Amino acid sequence: MTAAAVVVALIQLALFIFLAPVLVGVIHQVRARMEGRVGAGIWQPWREVRKLLAKNPVHAEGSSWVLTIGPIALLLSSLLLCVLLPLVGTLSLPFLPSDLFVIVSVMLVGVVALALVGLDSGTAFGGMGSSRHMTVAALVEPTVLLAIYALSIPVGTSTLSKIVETRLHTPAVIISPVSVLAMVALAIAIMAETGRLPVDNPSTHLELTMLHEAMALEASGRDLAWLEVGSWLKLTVLLGLLSNLAAPWGVLTDFTIWSVLIGIVAMTVKILLLGTLLSVGEVFMAKVRLFRVPELLAGSFVLAFLAVTASYLVA
Amino acid sequence: MTALGLGLMAQLGLTLATIIVAFSVPARARSLASGISCALTSTAGALTGALALAGWHGSLSIPFALSADPVELAPTQLGGLFMLMASIVGILVSVYGIGYAHGATASPMSWAALAVFLVGMQLVPAAADAVSFLLMWEVMALGSTVLLLTEHFRRHEVNSAVVWYSAMSQVSFLLILAGFAVLATSAGSTSFAEMRILESDSWAAGIALVLLVLGFGSKAGLVPLNVWLPRAHPEAPSHISAAMSAAMVSMGVYGVLLACVQLLPAGPPWWGALIMVLGGVSAVYGIVQASVNSHLKVLLAHSTTENMGLVFLAIGASVLLRAYHAETTADATLLAALLLTLSHALFKTTLFLGAGAIQHATGEINLDRLGGLLKRMPWTAASFGVAALAAAALPVTSGFVAEWTLLQSLIHGSGIEGTPVAVALVVAMPLGVAVVALTAGVALLTFVKAFGIAFLARPRSAEAAAAAEVPASMRIALVFGALGILAVGILPGPIAEALASTVPANRSPTVRTVGAGGISIPGIGVLLDPATLVVLAALLLVPTLIIVRLNSRRHPIRVSALPWGGGGSRARPRMQYTATSYAEPLVRVFDDVLKPTRDVQVTHLGESRYLIERLQVNQRVTDVIETRLYRPVLNGAQRFGKLARHAQNGSIHRYLTYSFVTLLIVLVVVAL
């Protein structure tokens, strides 16, 4: 069982490293087509990574080793997420249950690393991005944890693989009002956490509106490549998680060649579908003002809170 | 005499020796000799505490010449744990003090007071009856007050801080005294062993609990009794702040545990609700205040309020759960409270010592004037960084383990096997989770700000640019503090087992060690093994580093002179984000709680309405509790004082009249 879990973890790792740039490419391509442009093709992010890795990183005078270590820490936290989350399969490694609290904190390590990179260069933009990024992260956390709480109630544990398995075996749980509320809350939180519209505009280069881009301004070469790949991976695994919670079919629970293949194909299809959906949604949406974001997050917090209390009082 | 008795005796003896050393050794060697002596005292305390924690019994009784009961010291297991915690902090602080002490901090009085303060803290949890407890409590308060006065001749703010601190300590003392008095009259004894007979649903028990919780809460810095924290900490020397904030506030936790677990077990639900509300409000208020403060030590002081709030939230949850007979989760929350206290003691010591190192090296403590210290003070930066991670509850630190335990026990608290136990729990537990989560989120921002602004970027003042690493003894204390945090964070299993053994568990055992020192709570079926997580991270890190290495051989880093200035010529250090600007978005979000006052003055250039010559922005965040709650009370007291002055005009005739009237009244009363 342990060997099978290790194999599945390695498969997830490889699949997501390959898939993350593709997903971002698909998102950009769908958006371009919807806006009447030709687009650069779905392999463009891969080409960008290759380009960045072939350049010398430039560090401003006065910046420290955080500029080198921070991007690696972000990448590492995203890679850990790939291994820990039940994406292709729900087999879990010994002593490493896919506990949601652990997963959130591993993700937060990446958030902090990015914020420190933003501060390190000592420019106004980096600080601004970092400050906004952390404000959003601080306000997202209550929603995320309460949504986890709501999801954990029907299963009696916050271990994600158990939650996904329960949803697979009793699909009625998925469309229960409690679960829908929690999922909506979680989806909003994930959009905020990964810097998508309406919280952050991922394609902007206008200094005053950007969050993520502002922090990455001083990074270049492989530092920038790690930052980008880390963020893409985070987006991809979180979308994968959402899709597995909403439609757990195809995820492998016992280890055979066929189930592995089905798991890989199902995950790929689900992620690309969700990515397309996200991209289409973003075309019709504008970024909200930064100071309206707390209202959005407060709304999703209320949904999560309702989900938790309702699951006891209604059921 | 038993080993414990000998240990307690050694503590008292060594304290006396430290006082003698402090006053007799010449100034050159004073800090070294007294620091070592203080550290030895604390080591004796640590050994005694460890023995008591391991379940040894023993006592020391110190008779008075007066016809009063002797002072009885007999630490229980719980007491031993808190002795150990206070002593570890004491050792770190004493070692740090050797290099840090200078000027007034290195005076004989200051070292002697430190010894008294440390031993007072170590003996509070050893006390076996209420009178000895209160005596040690006052020794602790006295020592800390003297230490707080250390720099009174240099800064006049110190005087006001000392007045606030002593007033609040006395309020706390009186509340505790009253609480113990209620219990003692009902039980007919002042010994802790006999005071626990009281029926816990009686009125007397309720009153005693409220008094004790308020009294101990004030020492722990809970809202609304937290006003002394942000005043005392910036004025005290840093190692004293560390001892106060890490060890002394823990004594408040010990007191509440003494009340809720030993003296008054199994209280009604409203006790738990009361403690939870106090803790929850303190946690949120503390961290929001911390997040917007730019003064590093004030920031840390508010963060103490936050952490103690979380501890009280956990204790309250355990009382509430026990009231509804959810025993396993109650045990788990109590374990969470102990882990939170231990973790806080470790990281807050390191953070305050780090702040002291910054102040020692730069003479600055305002984050807005720091920056770029990572390269100049690598040891301090690394230790402060680890402690900041723990304060933000990130893996793999003690803070993460503690908060994980708390969250897990809370989410398993509202129902047993998916069925709700009581409506109160169904509402209280999600609110508890929300408070913990919001606190964790804002703490993340706070400590990214504290670390990032102080240690990263470019220096924001000449002093910060000229900083150099601190002396060896300070570095040793810092590094050991950080190592302690990591040890608890990576191998929490055995430590959690030791902690859980100090409180009576209803189903054995509350916690088990799994894997490589991981923690597992069988009652609620959860496990966490940080060591495995570290191994996994290392496995992923190695190939990543190999790729980085290969890439950097072909594409080395180029250092350019300037960071990008947005098209402008030069991005000067003054144009960086400061701590104040970093917290600005959060100030706007929590506008209603913080009530910031902004004052913007624009000077226009000549006649132009569009060109600006100078822009001055003043923003102050006021402490709402102080302005809304304490000011009116203090003003009322002052008004009463003025009225009373009319009655006291110094005229002998008037005083004679007063005496006459009083005599008349007494006669009338006696006649009736």
User: CA dist B328 to B318, B508, B521, Å?
Assistant: 10, 9, 9
Does residue B153 lie in a domain region? no
Q: Which residues of B touch A81 (CB under 8 A)?
A: none
Tens of pLDDT, residue by residue over A133-185, are 999 999 888 888 888 888 888 888 888 888 888 888 888 888 888 888 888 98
The set of long-range contacts for B57-60, using a CB threshold of 8 Å and a minimum separation of 24, is B57/B2, B57/B4, B58/B1, B58/B2, B58/B3, B58/B4, B58/B5, B58/B7, B58/B8, B59/B2, B59/B4, B59/B5, B59/B128, B60/B1, B60/B4, B60/B5, B60/B8, B60/B9
What chain A residue is nearest to B520 in terms of C-alpha separation?
A: A95
Work out the minimum CA distance from A154 to partner chain B, whole angstroms.
7
* pLDDT value at residue B562: 72
- Decide if B432 touches A, using CB distance below 8 A: no
Does residue B248 lie in a domain region? no
B128 neighbors B192 (Cβ within 8 angstroms) = yes
Q: Which residues of B touch A131 (CB under 8 A)?
A: 449, 577, 581-585
- Decide if B611 touches A, using CB distance below 8 A: no
B493 neighbors B398 (Cβ within 8 angstroms) = no
* pLDDT value at residue B578: 87
Tens of pLDDT, residue by residue over B506-519, are 655 678 888 788 88
* pLDDT value at residue B185: 86
* pLDDT value at residue A209: 65
Task: Give the best residue of A13, A75, A105, A295 to mutate against chain B (max B CB count within 10 A).
Answer: A105
Contact B395 A105 (CB under 8 A): yes
The arithmetic mean of pLDDT across residues B465-494, rounded, is: 92
* pLDDT value at residue B117: 94
DSSP H or E run through B520: strand B518-521
Percent of chain B clearing pLDDT 70 (strictly above) = 96
Does residue B637 lie in a domain region? yes
Contact A124 B449 (CB under 8 A): no
Contact A123 B576 (CB under 8 A): yes
Contact B571 A124 (CB under 8 A): yes
- Decide if B177 touches A, using CB distance below 8 A: no
Does residue B633 lie in a domain region? yes
Q: Which residues of A touch B588 (CB under 8 A)?
A: 291
The arithmetic mean of pLDDT across residues B614-638, rounded, is: 85
- Decide if B515 touches A, using CB distance below 8 A: yes
The arithmetic mean of pLDDT across residues B379-392, rounded, is: 94
Work out the minimum CA distance from B582 to partner chain A, whole angstroms.
5
Query: What ipTM does this complex have?
Result: 0.93
Three-state DSSP class for residue B220: helix
- Give first-to-last CA distance, chain B, whole Å: 59
In this complex, which of A76, A134, A145 lies closest to B544 when CB atoms are compared?
A76
Tens of pLDDT, residue by residue over A106-125, are 999 999 999 999 888 888 88
Q: Is the pLDDT of residue B492 over 60?
A: yes
Tens of pLDDT, residue by residue over A258-267, are 888 998 999 9
Tens of pLDDT, residue by residue over B221-271, are 898 888 888 888 888 899 999 999 999 999 999 999 998 888 888 788 899
Grade residue B42 by pLDDT with cuts at 50, 70 and 90: very high
Does residue B547 lie in a domain region? no
Amino acid type, B455: F
Tens of pLDDT, residue by residue over B113-145, are 999 999 999 999 999 889 899 999 999 999 999
Work out the minimum CA distance from B577 to partner chain A, whole angstroms.
5
**Structure pTM?**
0.93
Number of structural domains, chain B? 1
Contact B407 A101 (CB under 8 A): yes
B537 neighbors A37 (Cβ within 8 angstroms) = no
Q: Is the pLDDT of residue A131 over 80?
A: yes
What the block records as the tokens of B521 is 């709570």
Angle at Cα B575 formed by Cα B373 and Cα B351, nearest 5°?
A: 30
What the block records as the tokens of A287 is 């970024």
Percent of chain B clearing pLDDT 90 (strictly above) = 49
Q: Which residues of B touch A93 (CB under 8 A)?
A: 532, 536
Q: Which domain does B635 fall in, by range?
A: 597-642
Beta strands in A32-139 (DSSP E): 58-60
A239 neighbors A274 (Cβ within 8 angstroms) = yes
Q: Which residues of A touch B395 (CB under 8 A)?
A: 102, 105-106, 109
Bond from prior residue into B535 cis (ω within 30 degrees of 0): no
Work out the minimum CA distance from A280 to partner chain B, whole angstroms.
30
Does residue B624 lie in a domain region? yes
What the block records as the tokens of A37 is 């442009």
Task: Identify the burial level of B268 via C-beta atoms within 10 angstroms of its C-beta, where 0-12 means exposed, 13-18 middle and 19 or more buried.
Answer: middle
